[in-house]
Structure 1
């Protein structure tokens, strides 16, 4: 470990980023799905900064109940405060809490990194919302990290509007989608907003993230042709079922855009999921112009979670991270510097049958604009 650490430091030479720490995470038996997501989140700078602030504001609470937020804040503080620049840390407390919290992650079977990420983000939001509610009930118990502002979370098309809490998790990861349905008889447009923390995209062979996003926002016609009558849309203005067009678009882009590539397809004849090795090109700089009508949002790639293996219930996960203009490769305890060109090797294969199973699975982009920053 010491030799590996010194090797990484030698690779940086005199250009080792000031104040940065590059630590591998110990694997406790099929916990690579967890380690790779934690590395991606650690190098999500706004998220890391908020977690470190949360820890600093709450470390003297004493008998405060342990949860995933406190365990993660403790882990990130451990990493960032290390005297050494490189090494290995065991995220034991966090993994123990994760298993205690959710029985899905208790077994030694391989787990899905996207399911873990989804669970973790929602759990952290729930904890922060409860903290904020408790702080409102007892103002003396509040801390700077507990403060929240009012704003939209799940915005409904009709009816009374609620003003739920918006925590720093919402400000970093939450975006808003608009589901628009246009009646083809009266041209009335009905819009329903919903929030998201990540976008799950269907993929096709020899495609790109840009084309996947375009398909995500493409227009679909609802009609009864060769289908059941209920596939039509009930128009409130016409007071009847009508043919309609619907589309999904991004109304408010998040500061951190998380994209999940749907690389598993259920094959009925096989009775199981098959991994799609499709080549899907993802750019280092991404524009959302195809999914938004009002503005172009630009993003920069800073982390890629890669799945290695042929199936959904087995395999391994690694993570690529961009930190201070350097790309690094995290494989549990091992960390090494890589060239930017290596990122392209995880696009996938242009051939239907390929031995290459090292494929990008989750992409993390940070907004280059100032609109969504805290």
Structure 2
């Protein structure tokens, strides 16, 4: 990385952001799925700040037992405290802990970056909640931790009285969806809230994130065998159903469903569809507060023509510069290069590098634009 690192420093020159570090991550055989997501999370400014703060506080207590959270905090601290501005770090301890924690990631097969992100965020939440509960159960506790207003990620319909704690992972990534069903007989609207850390969107050829979000929130009619049981009518009725974003998150993570099971083939196929993702995204038609705006700061890209093989890289925006992270290699790229990862207009194309997971930060939150 020596030559590449100095090339990056030269490219940034006097514009190299004060205190920032751009480090590639070593690949241990098949860990590009992990490296690409870690880079996106590292350049998610509020998440990184809170993780580093957590690490500093846990160091002070001195009795933190090793888990995925402490390994991630240790890795981010290692990167941010490097004397050099660029280089390579081996996330060995984190990867070892990941494999120990989840057998899914132990094999040398191609892994899914979205599955890893989901597992990681939920694991961090579990650890933080357990730690907060342990503090709460100690005698002479201080004021109780802040609670969330909604149920857990997999909320139970009967509404459990015990509400979960709102960790800093929730505060960054969690949004609330409302599933509304309107009985066409009596017009009664039944609404059910559920929380999410990311939105998985169906995609179509030559579409955009905006149109995918509109489809996600489009009204669906329930009839024939799909009729809805209306509590007020006490019978099955035709109804209209739609999904809305009730509370948008600070960090909006969008997962494009590029891997689809094709029954005729009896296997998954990668959809290389061209899906335009803008640098600035305005949520409309899908959210109650239509004025909320987001800025793109990271993209995890899947490289390859199929779902069971390939490679992951990430594009990251840091201090108004776009960077390309490919395991150990880090390069500066032009903003216009982001468009090359939208996808292909033809089904078979030599371009196999497609945006897969998009990270947007709400404008107005502490963001990467400084």
Query: Is TM-score (shorter-chain normalized) higher than 0.5?
Result: yes
Match of 2:240 in 1: 245
Secondary structure of residue in 1 paired with 2:33: helix
Query: How far, CA to CA, are the matches of 2:308 and 2:230 in structure 1?
Result: 43
Match of 1:200 in 2: 200
Match of 1:351 in 2: 346
Secondary structure of residue in 2 paired with 1:36: helix
Cα pair distance change 1:159/1:203, threshold 3 Å: closer
Match of 1:286 in 2: 281
Query: How far, CA to CA, are the matches of 2:361 and 2:58 in structure 1?
Result: 27
Q: How does 1:217-366 map to 2 (within 5 A)?
A: 217-224=217-224, 228=225, 231-366=226-361
Unaligned ranges ≥5, structure 1: none
Query: How far, CA to CA, are the matches of 2:172 and 2:166 in structure 1?
Result: 10
Unaligned ranges ≥5, structure 2: none
Query: Could you report, residue by residue, the CA deviation over 1:10-61 in whole angstroms, capped at 9, with x for unpaired residues?
Result: 0001110001000000000010000000000000000000000000000144
Match of 2:38 in 1: 38
Query: How far, CA to CA, are the matches of 2:113 and 2:361 in structure 1?
Result: 20
Q: 1:176, 1:251 within 8 Å by CA — same for their partners in 2?
A: yes
TM-superposed CA distance for 1:297, in Å, is 1.2
Query: How far, CA to CA, are the matches of 2:234 and 2:133 in structure 1?
Result: 42
Q: 2:150, 2:193 within 8 Å by CA — same for their partners in 1?
A: no
TM-score (norm 2): 0.95
Query: How far, CA to CA, are the matches of 1:252 and 1:156 in structure 2?
Result: 19
Moved more, 344-353 or 273-282: 344-353
RMSD between aligned alpha carbons?
A: 1.9
TM-score (norm 1): 0.94
1:152 aligns with 2:166: no
Cα pair distance change 1:94/1:139, threshold 3 Å: farther
Q: Across the two proteins, how many residue pairs are aligned to each other? A: 364
Cα pair distance change 1:332/1:278, threshold 3 Å: same
TM-superposed CA distance for 1:289, in Å, is 1.1
Query: How far, CA to CA, are the matches of 2:159 and 2:121 in structure 1?
Result: 28
Match of 2:169 in 1: 169
